Structure 1
Amino acid sequence: MENTDYDKAEADPSLAWLAERGITLENYFGVTHPSEPNYVASHGGDNFGMDNDAFNRVAGNVSTITDLLEDKHISWGSYQEDMPYTGFEGFSWANQETRANDYNESYSISNRVFSILLGGAVPKHLEGSKDDKYYNHYSELSTVEANWNLHTLGRWDVGANVFDLVACETGDIYRPNLAATAENATIFYNSSFAGPFNEDFQAAPYPPPNLDIKSPKTHRTVLPAIKKQWKGHTEGTYYHDGVDIPDGQHPPHGYAVNDVSKD
């Protein structure tokens, strides 16, 4: 529920009904604001500085989770709500009654998203349970990589915590991020630093993946095709295998601070 404050979403009776049938993630975070860069992050391992919901196209030499799945010949599908037809590639499809989509903007609180794990993979004894471990959108990537023993993208997917449901089976370790989850959090993950899609702050080139990092303990490596694509072009990479990631107000070394609190 990215466009609804956590407490409000948690109190919704329909979502409470779903929570009884799955695992509620109590510390699941978005990685920036607004919506589209979070979608990009959950597929590509970074939001690439995106700070908008514009009609953006990611360069062809930037790999995604699709490349990792197809490398292992694993079939996949994309399920999107309220699209007018299969394969719709238009700029947007607004709510046909209100002519607008939900939007919520706040830079003074953490970007914690009410999230529930649902489906046949959730065992009966965990239905209605809660998981208070720290996760973010990159955990979606790392969990898929762990579950099917895939390679990685060499970006923020490498160090992201794997959902405990899967990590218990794959041996992936958990690391906390108290800067995000503590009562007095110091990082909110609601802004982007410079990148190729940044419109309101600063533009910057695509950051190259880190071809040498491996997932902690389980040692999943970067996809060979990515290594071949980016060989000799890795200067300026800022990715590491840690669980703590930067945001606009806490950017990587050498990047300017995007202080959205002053906007």
Structure 2
Amino acid sequence: MLFANSALAVAVATAAAVSHVAAACQAINSVMTIVLENQDTSTILADSYMGSTLVKKGYLLNNFYGVTHPSQPNYIAMISGSRNLCLLDFDCKIGANSIVDLLEQKGKTWKSYQESYPGNCFTGTSSGTYRRKHNPFMSFDNIRGNPTRCANIVNSDQLSRDAAAGKLPNYIFYTPDMNNDGHDTSASYASNWLKTFLEPKLVDPAYANVLFHVVFDESETYFGPNHIYSILLGKGIKGVGLVDNAHYDHYSFLATLEGIFDLGNLGKHDKDAVRIPLSC
């Protein structure tokens, strides 16, 4: 059913292949990345909500891949264009730049919304159902050691207040807790959480100019291609119900984010990554 319009899928893939250079996308005010955990694409496409309902509403990136295993290096790659020698799930301390540096240089705002996060620049490995390994911003020395920047890492409760005040940042990184992201539960649990979290936002005027990216960090199967579910919804997508079969990974979305806000690049894997085509 996903490939009923194969000609359109091919056309989209062809467009993606030539989308390396893209101008700033002024129609998109905010980009929200929502990261779920550790599921194979086949499992998610079999889910009634993510595999059917969302596919009909969004732009499915059907050939999207994590860059490694385990979880944390994928999160680091999402915001910095490299694993930066962070290879495992132990606390990392990285003396490099990230998307934060590019955003701030352009006067753009950002926040990392973390479920169950204790606040106050908590640097511990865990607290309840919060895990630092799923909060990549905390691994960067120039964020963790900077009180002003670290204040942009907040508990997820702040999101509703920011939306109500009309103060959604330009870049939103949202991490569900260890239950809601499916890590300690299941794909169906994560799907039910996502439906409750996302559906109201798709019709809320406060989020009218937001591009949503729902993505998994890595596949459940370690010894394989690391094929993961990834879908764009909301402002700026090429079309509703489209399937893009071009090859993308976490670096591709970082490069796309850089293009949306005309940020330049970090000179790492993001520099040469193929951007995802948008309609701006």
Q: TM-score range by the shorter chain?
A: 0.5 to 0.7
2: CA distance between counterparts of 1:23 and 1:127? 6
Pick from 92, 102, 113: which aligns with 1:68?
102
1: CA distance between counterparts of 2:227 and 2:57? 21
TM-score (norm 1): 0.55
**1:79 lines up with 2:113 in the alignment:** yes
1: CA distance between counterparts of 2:253 and 2:220? 23
Higher helix share: 2
Runs of 4+ in 1 over 6 A off after TM superposition: none
Check the 8 A contact 2:40/2:221 in 1, yes or no: no
For each residue in 1:34-91, what CA deviation from the matched residue of structure 2 results, as whole angstroms up to 9, or x when unmatched? 11000001111101233311111212xx1111101111111122233x3244455431
Structure 2 CA distance for partners of 1:76 and 1:135, relative to 1, 3 Å: same
Provide the residue aligned with 1:161 in structure 2. Answer: 274
2: CA distance between counterparts of 1:118 and 1:104? 21
Larger of the two Rg values belongs to structure:
1
**1:35 lines up with 2:68 in the alignment:** no
2: CA distance between counterparts of 1:122 and 1:85? 35
Pick from 3, 6, 10: which aligns with 2:45?
10
Q: CA deviation at 1:109?
A: 1.7
2: CA distance between counterparts of 1:158 and 1:5? 27
Structure 2 CA distance for partners of 1:55 and 1:10, relative to 1, 3 Å: same
Q: CA deviation at 1:105?
A: 4.8
Residues 1-263 of structure 1: pairs in structure 2 closer than 5 A? 1-15=36-50, 16-59=52-95, 62-80=96-114, 82-86=115-119, 87-93=121-127, 94=129, 95=178, 101=184, 105-122=220-237, 126-165=239-278
For each residue in 1:86-128, what CA deviation from the matched residue of structure 2 results, as whole angstroms up to 9, or x when unmatched? 455431243479xx736965343211110110222336xx112
Check the 8 A contact 2:252/2:274 in 1, yes or no: yes
> Matched residue of 1:110: which SS?
coil
Q: CA deviation at 1:140?
A: 1.8
2: CA distance between counterparts of 1:127 and 1:47? 33
Percent identity of paired positions between Structure 1 and Structure 2: 36
Higher strand share: 2
Check the 8 A contact 2:60/2:242 in 1, yes or no: yes
Check the 8 A contact 1:2/1:114 in 2, yes or no: no
Greater mean deviation of Cα atoms: 133-142 or 104-113: 104-113
Structure 2 CA distance for partners of 1:21 and 1:89, relative to 1, 3 Å: farther
Q: How many residues align?
A: 160
Greater mean deviation of Cα atoms: 70-79 or 155-164: 70-79
Check the 8 A contact 1:29/1:135 in 2, yes or no: yes
Unpaired runs of 5+ in structure 1?
170-263
